[in-house]
Amino acid sequence: MRRPQYVLVVGLLLASFLAGCAPAAAPTAAPAAPVKETVVVKETVQVPVSAAEQEWELVNPAGVRQITPIELAPRITTLEGKTVVLRWNGKHNGDNFLNRIAELLAEQIPTAKVIKLWESLPESAAIVNTADGLAKVTKATQDLKADIVIASQSD
């Protein structure tokens, strides 16, 4: 140890002695905890119902379905000379998609007559879910003498 450090250590020890400090006490053994006598539970413990197996009779909550089947419309075999009604449900870009389909139909099947329903019936550009609303859309489509409807939906 170099001299300055030696002086510092001796000084600190002396200061500690004067301040009443003492070396850390050596650990002493902890007092022994009183030993409890082991108790054996002999009485029967009731198992909660939630954990016990049992026979259950239950009512099936699903309910049976009621759907009135409807027939598909007769299909067409060509778009040549047909009236094609495009139906947009108001979702973003559905009109842009169908606008492009209209352009392609005009280019590739020029004899097809293409009608955008949302232009003749603006309220059809929505998710129509009432009986009145659906009837209105259906009638407008029939009035246009549609041979086929191409619809765009989804997000």
Partner 1 sequence: MEKVGIPTVTVATSEFLGLSRSTMESIGLADMAFVEVPHPMGMIPLDEIRAKADAAFPEIVKAATQWKPEKTTIEGLGESPYPAKRIKFTGSYADLNKMFFEKGWSLGLPIIPPTPEAVEEMLKGTTHKPDEVVWVVPPRMGQLTVELVATLGVMAGCKPEHMPLMLAIVKGFSDENMGWRGTTTTTAATEPMVIINGPIVKELGIGYGQGCMGAEQPVNAALGYFVNLVGDIVGGSVPPEPDKSTQGSPADYVAMVLGENEDANPWKQSYAVEQGFKPTDNVVTVFTAYPGTGNIDHNSVKGTEILNTMVAGISGTASGISRCLTGPSTGGTGVGWLFMLVAPEHAATMFSEFKTKQEVQQYVVDNTKLPFKGYAPGLCKPPESFGPVTPDTLVPRFTDPTQIRIVVTGGAGKQSQLWGAFPQVVKPVSVLVEN
- Of 150, 75, 82, the closest CA to residue 113 belongs to 82
SS3 assignment, position 49: helix
Helix (H) / strand (E) element for 98: namely: helix 94-108
Asked if 51 touches partner 1 (CB under 8 A), the answer is yes
Least separation in angstroms between residue 123's CB and partner 1 is 8
Q: Which stretch binds partner 1 (CB under 8 A): 8-16, 26-34, 38-46, 131-139?
A: 131-139
For residues 105 and 112, is the Cβ–Cβ distance under 8 A?
yes
Residue 72 interacts with partner 1 (CB under 8 A): yes or no = yes
Name the 3-class secondary structure at 99: helix
Counting contacts by CB under 8 A, is residue 36 touching partner 1?
no
- The yes or no reply on residue 16 touching partner 1 (CB under 8 A) is no
Among 93, 110, 119, 143, binds partner 1 (CB under 8 A): 93
